Amino acid sequence: MSLNALTVFLFLQGAFTLSKCTDWKITIPRNLSTVTGACVEIPCKFSHPALPNPLAKITLTWLKVKEDRIPMNDIIFHSENSSYNKRTSLIGKLALKDCSIGIRDLTKEDTASYKIKVEIEGYKNYTYPSAFNLYVKEEPLVPDLEKPSSTIKEGDNITFTCRINHTCPLRPPSWKWNVHFGAIKNVQLTLGEGKWQIVSKLTFTAKRKYQGQYIHCMTSFKGGLVSKVIEAQLKIFYPPGNTSVIVNDDPIREGQNLSLSCHSQSYPKAEHYAWYGVTQSGTALILPEETNTLPIWSIRRTLTSFYCSAQNSEGKQISPVQHLNVLYKPEISSESKCIMNLASMECHCIAYSNPSASIEWRLSESRINQSREGYVVHTTSSGHVTESTLRVEVPQTSNIFCYSANEEGNTEIHLHSIYSDMYKYMMVGFIGITVLGLVMAGAVIAGRYCRAKKGISDLQSVCKVQEGSKFVKASECSSKPEFFKDYITANGQSKGFSPDYVQGKPEDFSTDMEQGRSLLERLYTDYPRNSIWVEELYIDMTQKSREQEEFYTEYPQNRRNQELYTDILPRNSKNEVYTNTTYRPSLPQQFEPITEGPVMPIYDTVSPESQELTIYQNMEQFIR
């Protein structure tokens, strides 16, 4: 090995061995560096020639070399005189030829070269020619910060390591980290040649909340000197989190233009966005916007809920639904109405608004918003809905308006009255009874009119006459009815028809001109027993043949080839009427004359047992 190579090797080792002779040797670092306020431990080993007296006393002296001053050497340590040992102390043991010393509370003046002198009792003294160089700096030392080499992802366990070399193992520098999370572990390592290294490790679990923070470490020495700060920024990869919709406008009014922003925390930044809207029914709508900003033109109350999603290389997250507080003036529901009851009226008004609105009832000139005499008002509000009920003890015929207002505006509608079911049922019942009564009255009138018409028709077919004793058959009568004279009553006054009163209008067929009643009405009045029969009255207009002949003489147009068949017994008196029973063998043979009331040209068959009338429709029915 060449001399130069050996020199380099000894320099790298930080130590050298010098002696004038083979027996006098010393091992000491060539130089050490430290900072003010720190301490230094200088390792030292020496050897000497064999002594004649192995128990000879050895004295060790450390000298500070002053080349520019006299004396040239200052004693900083003396093994026998402690007065020199103000800041120094022997660390090694002379018996073991260990000359290591420590110097504390270093100052800049301590920067110098130091030599060792050995004195052996009964032998000679020897000063080792080579010196040890000490450098004391006021500048702080620079620690070394070791960062994780791989990419940090959320949830990984990572360690930051901070290292710094020093020369004082008994009083090493203290470490300080700027973070308050994770676990810190300090370890001191011996590097040799008077150098030590203190290592501090910070270990923690990577979380997104640590993203972007700076991690730095520093050391402090006795005396207050601290090392330089070395730092590293955390870059933790994690998917989007805390995604939310940010509203850029406030307050929001219906019809206003606004924009929403999709905000999220992630590393790296989110690159893809999607927007969604939620209708009042809960249906989600996919909106076309793909950036982190959503512009909305003319916001409406029907679509006020939105959310978004953000995505990066680590994952995707959907934000919570953002409900927009859209302000709008009241809108009164179409369900608002008034219900009419029998003794009162109740009105119900529903108003939708934001913020909630007040409701006032307006009746003509009255303004009602709370209960008072004759009016009961009950108003409730929940969310965006305000409901008010007005109960009026006496139904109102005037117009009723529901007026609603809030900070955004007002509105008013006219409430139309409707009827309650009970009211409807009663009205329908009343109308039904009225209609039924009218129908029944009409039926009765129509029935009586029809019976009267039919009775007159029968009378026309029989063609009864009062004058003369001759009769004609019904078939020989004219198509239009003729007018007859009524039978003469006992007092000789007319009670019915008379040709003298006829003016040639057979359709009138008036009877009882003085009282204005028809023949049928007079018949039911004078003979009430006939009114219970449904069958039309059969009037047997039989008289003596003299009357029939007189009739044909006076009305020759009624004569026909065939005469009416009559088989009528003669009357005993003018006030008695007998019935013909020749062709009715089933009837009794004894009859009593009917003498009640005025004599009418009607012949009834009367049963003596029942005293009930038997009425026939025509002659053919009578003679069967």
DSSP 392-420: ESS---S-EEEEEEETTEEEEEEEPEEE-
Task: Tell me which residue of 163, 233, 225, 200 sits closest to 34, measured CA to CA.
Answer: 225
Above 90 in pLDDT, residue 95? no
pLDDT at 145: 92
Q: What is the pLDDT at residue 443?
A: 82
Phi, psi for 12 (deg, rounded to 5): -65, -30
Is pLDDT above 50 for 135?
yes
Buried b (16+ CB within 10 A) or exposed e, 452-481: beebbebbbebbbbbbbebbbbbebbeeeb
Residue 490's pLDDT band (cuts 50, 70, 90): very low
Structural domains of the chain sorted by starting position, each given as residue range(s) with its CATH number in brackets: 13-137 (2.60.40.10), 144-234 (2.60.40.10), 238-324 (2.60.40.10), 328-419 (2.60.40.10), 451-624 (no CATH)
Q: Please state the rounded mean pLDDT for residues 360-365.
A: 85
> Is it true that the peptide bond before 585 is cis, omega within 30 degrees of 0?
no
pTM for the model stands at: 0.50
Q: Which residues of 583-599 are buried (b: 16+ CB within 10 A; e: fewer)?
A: eeeebeeeeeebeeeeb
Judged by average pLDDT, the poorest of 102-106, 241-245, 246-250, 358-362 is 246-250
Instruction: State the pLDDT at residue 471.
Output: 42
Task: Give dist(CA 608, CA 623) in Å, integer.
Answer: 20
> Sheet harboring 400-406: ordered strands across?
366-368, 358-363, 400-406, 409-415
Region of 14 on the Ramachandran plot (φ > 0 left; ψ -120 to 50 alpha; else beta)? left
Task: Kindly state the percentage of the chain with pLDDT values over 70.
Answer: 65
Confidence at 136, pLDDT banded by 50, 70, 90: very high
pLDDT at 458 over 90: no
> 326-332 and 345-354: which strand pairing?
antiparallel
Q: Say if residue 465's pLDDT is above 60.
A: no
Q: What is the pLDDT of residues 474-485, one digit of tens each?
A: 444 444 444 334
- Give the C-alpha separation, 199 to 189, whole Å: 8
Q: Are the C-beta atoms of residues 41 and 100 closer than 8 Å to each other? A: yes
Closest alpha carbon to 32 in 128, 98, 131, 99 = 131
Q: How confident is the model at residue 397 (pLDDT cuts 50, 70, 90)?
A: low
Instruction: State yes or no: pLDDT of 594 exceeds 70.
Output: no
| Nearest C-alpha neighbor of 73 from the set 134, 137, 15, 131 | 131
Instruction: Decide if 482 contacts 506 (C-beta within 8 A).
Output: yes
* Strands 31-35 vs 132-137: parallel, antiparallel or unpaired: parallel
What average pLDDT does the segment 10-15 reach? Answer: 39
pLDDT band (50, 70, 90) for residue 263: very high
Amino acid at 300: R
Residue 325 has pLDDT above 60, yes or no: yes
pLDDT, one tens digit per residue, over 511-524 is 444 444 555 565 55
Q: How many CB atoms lie within 10 A of CB 102?
A: 20
**Cα–Cα distance for residue pair 348/388, rounded to 1 Å:** 6
Judge contact between 555 and 486, C-beta under 8 A.
no
Residues 91, 93, 94, 95, Cα dihedral to 10°: 180
Spatial contact of 174 and 219, defined as CB atoms under 8 Å apart:
yes
Give the per-residue pLDDT at 410: 95
CA angle 176, 177, 182 (to 5 degrees): 130
- Stretch among 163-167, 235-239, 397-401 having the lowest mean pLDDT: 397-401
Among candidate residues 572, 575, 547, the one with its CA nearest the CA of residue 489: 575
For tokens 């026998």, name the residue: 80
Burial class (CB in 10 A: 0-12, 13-18, 19+), 136: buried
Least confident of 123-127, 142-146, 402-406, 572-576: 572-576
Q: Yes or no: say if 103 and 76 are a contact pair by the CB < 8 Å rule.
A: yes
